[in-house]
């Protein structure tokens, strides 16, 4: 009896059902969740602003916009670094450190999905929602200039 004639007698050890694709999972209250995420991101930005003061570097709207742009590029599959717009080596270091800290946030912010009566699955933020949060963050820190 060769391998092709053998009946399949092995069954999987676990019945595993993969989680639904990200596009099918819906966040219950997107606006409130986005506010929560942006509040967390704003605290990180403020920490970096304060840390940059002794270096005589001001993280203003232009610098924050450059970091957010790099984060968007990274979310869409690019590298995102080095963050453009550095005036010198120290300024570039500050911008890239802020990028490095913020780029980790989508995997640090978890959403829960009830999978059974006593079980919950934790999922990291999906790319689509992360981009929405970046848009909200930009609107908060980088308001459009009046023409």
Radius of gyration for the alpha carbons in the chain, expressed in angstroms and rounded: 22
Every domain of the chain and the residues it spans: 30-141
Q: State the pLDDT confidence band at 131, using cuts at 50, 70 and 90.
A: very high
- Render pLDDT for 48-58 as a digit per residue (tens, 0 to 9): 999 999 999 99
Mean pLDDT for the stretch of residues 106-126? 83
pLDDT at 62 > cutoff 50: yes
pLDDT of residue 23: 41
Mean pLDDT for the stretch of residues 54-63? 94
What pTM did the predictor assign? Answer: 0.75
Q: Please name the residues in contact with 99: beta carbons below 8 A apart, sequence gap of 6 or more.
A: 67, 70, 71, 74, 80, 81, 83
Cα(60)–Cα(90) distance, integer angstroms: 15
pLDDT at 146 > cutoff 80: no
> Which segment, 15-19, 27-31, 33-37, is predicted with the most confidence on average?
33-37
pLDDT at 24 > cutoff 50: no
């Amino acid at each position: 009896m060769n391998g092709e004639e053998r009946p399949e007698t092995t069954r999987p050890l676990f019945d595993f059902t993969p989680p639904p694709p990200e596009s099918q999972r819906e966040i219950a209250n997107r606006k409130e969740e986005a506010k929560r995420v942006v509040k967390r991101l704003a605290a990180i930005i403020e920490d970096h602003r304060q840390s940059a003061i002794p270096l005589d570097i001001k993280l203003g709207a232009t610098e924050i916009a450059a970091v957010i742009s790099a984060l968007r590029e990274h979310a869409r599959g690019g590298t995102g670094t080095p963050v453009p717009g550095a005036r010198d080596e120290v300024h570039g270091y500050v911008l890239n450190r802020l990028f490095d800290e913020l780029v980790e946030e989508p995997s640090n912010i978890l959403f829960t999905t009830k999978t059974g009566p006593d079980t919950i699955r934790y999922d990291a933020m999906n790319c689509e929602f992360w981009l929405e949060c970046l848009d909200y963050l930009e609107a908060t820190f980088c308001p459009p200039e009046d023409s």
